A and B are shown apart, each in its own frame.
Chain A
Amino acid sequence: MGKTLFDKVWDKHVVRSIKDGPDVLFIDRHMVHEVTSPVAFRGLENRNLKVLFPKKTFATADHNTPTLNQHLPVKDPLSSKQLLALEKNAKKHKILYWGLGHKKNGIVHVIGPEHGITLPGTTIVCGDSHTSTHGAFGAIAFGIGTSEVEMVLSSQCVMQQKPKRMRIFIDGKLQKGVTPKDVALFIISKLSASGATGFFIEYSGEVFKDMSMEGRMTVCNLSIEMGARGGMIAPDEKTLEYIKDREFTPKGNAWKNAQKYWNSLYSDIDANFDKDISFDGSLIDPMITFGTNPGMGISISNKIPSSRDQSDNEKSYKRSLNYMNFNEGENMIGKKIDYVFLGSCTNGRIEDFRAFSKIVQGKKKADDVIAWLVPGSHKVRNSIKEEGLLDILNDAGFELREPGCSACLAMNEDKIPAGKYVISTSNRNFEGRQGPGSRTLLASPIAVAAAAITGKITDPRKYL
C-alpha cells in the first residue's frame, strides 16, 4: 500500500508513537506572534524551562498592531504591553523577531513564505488557525493553542492524534473571473463549516496544478474554515521556483539534497485516503457568503437559499440570516455595502493587490464606501509601490495602509461599526468578527474591487 503525501511528511516527523494516545511530532518551524504567546512564555518561566531550539522559532507582531502611523508609539496601553512582551521574550530567548516597523514585518503567514522559512516537507505550527496556509508548499502546517505553543517552545514537539486523510480533487479549467478564493469558498459551501473536521486535506487536480503559489496559499489558508486541521498541495516546479534563493531557503549542496527529498513528496498512486471528494472546476462561479459561517456561501448571482436545503438546523440558520438582516430567496447582487476590506493572510499578497488594482484602474471608488486596503507585509507594500499599483489605487480614490491582520479579526482599531456591511477578502464572517455587530460578506479580491466601485454587490465578471 502506497503512502499519501501527508503520511510521508507526518511519519518522517514522529519522534514517538504512544499506544492509544497521540504521536509526539517534531516541529521544524515554529512561528510566534504577540497574542497567543505571552502566556506560553510565562508558563516556561514558571516551570523553569528554556526554548529548546531558538533557531527554529520565528516571531513577528501582526494581530494587534495599528495599520496607520506605525512609526508612532502604539496608543492602546494593553496592545503596547503585549507587543513589548513579545519583544522582551524574543530577546531573552534569542528568537529572531521582526517587530512592528521592521522592514520584514507582516502577517506571519505572509512573511513565512516570503523569506523561505516555509519549505516543502516540513512541519510548521503557529498559535493561529490559519497556519494551514503554508500547506501550499507541501508542508504539514496547522494552528495550535497556547498550551501547545509552550510545548513547542520547550520541546520542539506537539502531541497530536494523527488526523484522517481527505483528498479534494478538482479537474478542469476555471472560468474567467473565478479565483482561488472562489474555489475555496465553493468547496466550503459544499462540505460545510465542519465537514472536514478530523481530516487533513490534500488538494489535487488540474485546478490546483494551474494555480499560482499565492492562489494555493489562499486555498490552503481556508482549509480550517471547514474544520480541517490543514490542507496541503504536493510541491512541483512552481513551488521550488518560488522558494529558490530566499533568505532561509537551503543553498548549494543543501538545496540539492533537499530537492531529492522534495521530489519524493507526492501521494503514491495506490495511496489510500479516508475520504475522496471531487468537483468539476469549470462549474465554479464567483462566490460570496451571506451568513455567519464560511460554509454559508453561494454563487454571487444566486439567491439566498431556503433553510430547508441546509445541513444546519433551521433555528441556527434563521438566527444567522437574522443577524445579517437578510431573507431567504433574496438576490445577493445589488445589496448595498458600506465598507470594503482587502487584506489578511487569505488575500493580502501582491497578486491580490494586482487583481484588485486591475478592476479599479481608471474608475472611482463609490463615494459612500469606506475602503481599507491592508497589505500582508512590508514586502507586499513595497511591491505595490514599485509596480505602480499605488498610483492606480490613489487615482481611483483608494489609500494604502501599513501591514497587519487589521480588520480581519478587528483586534486593533480597525473595526467595522455595528450593523454595517463589509465585503471582505478575509476568512471569517462570524458574528462580530470584524467589529462588534459588523456584518461580513466574504469574497474574492476582484468581487471586492467591483463592489468598491459600485457600492453594492456586483458580479466581478462585468469588469474583466
Chain B
Amino acid sequence: MQWVDAVVQGVLLGGLYAQYAIGMALMFGVMRIVNIAHGDFIILLGLIGISIATAWGLGSAGLILLLVPLGALIGWLLQHSVLNKVIGTDPIPSLIATFGLSIALQNFMLQIWSADTRSLSGGTLSVASVSLGPIHAGVLPVIVLACAVLLTGGLDLVLRYTAFGRGLRASAADHNAATLSGVNTKEVYALATAIAVGILGMAAVFQAMRTTIAPPDGGAQLIYAFEAVIIGGMGSIWGAFTGSMILGVAQVVGFRIDPGWGILLGHIVFLIVLAARPQGLMSRG
C-alpha cells in the first residue's frame, strides 16, 4: 500500500513540476529557445510573493493574480530585450546570454533576500487533506495538480486552435515565411515567453506554499523542468505534463527507498529514457 501511496504523492508532486515544465516546453520545444534562467524566475517570483504577503498580508489567490501578470511582463521584456536579438541564428548565444542572466539573478536575489530559505503560509489549506480509502492526499497538492491539468489543457488548445498558436508554430517552423504571411514574429515570440514566465507566477506561489525556496534553488527547478520536457517528448505540451508525472513519481519512490536517493532516481529515470527512447515517451517519432 505504501507504494500506491508513493505513486499518488509522486503524481501530486508532478503537478508542481508540470507548472514549471509546460512553459519550458513552449519555449524549448516549440520555439527552440533555451532560457537557463527559467528556474531563477520561479524563485524570484516566489521571493517577491513572500515579501508582498508579509508586507500587505495578501492571500495566496491574490498573490497569484499579482505574480502572473508580473511574470508575463518579465517574460515579454526578456524576449524583446535579450532573446529576440539572438533568435534565428544558432541557439548557443541565447543559452550563454541566459546563463549570464541566471548568475546575475541568483546573486541579485542573494543580495536582497539573503540565503535563508523561506516559505508562504497556506493557512488551513496547507494541513487540510482528503482521503480515499487508505490513501490520503493534501488538499493543496490536489489543487496544484488540478491547476496544472487546466494550464496544460488550456495551453495545448491555445497552440492548436488560436491565431496566436498558429502564428507561433508558423514562426518556429519558418521565420521568414511566417513574416511573409503577415506574422509579427518578434511579438508572437514575446507573447509566448510572457505566457511561459507568467505561468511561473502561479508555480512560484504553489512552490512556496508546498515547500521552501531560497535564491540558489533555481538550477534544480530548471533541471526538473528540462527532464520533464525530454522524458515526455519535445514540442508536446501534454508530453511535458506526462514527463512531470513520471519525474514526480520517480523522485517520491526514490525518496521512500532512501531519502538520499529521491532526486537521484529522478535523474536516473531521465537518463534511462534518454538511452531507451531519446525522442521522448509521447512523441510519435
Are A and B part of the same complex?
A: no
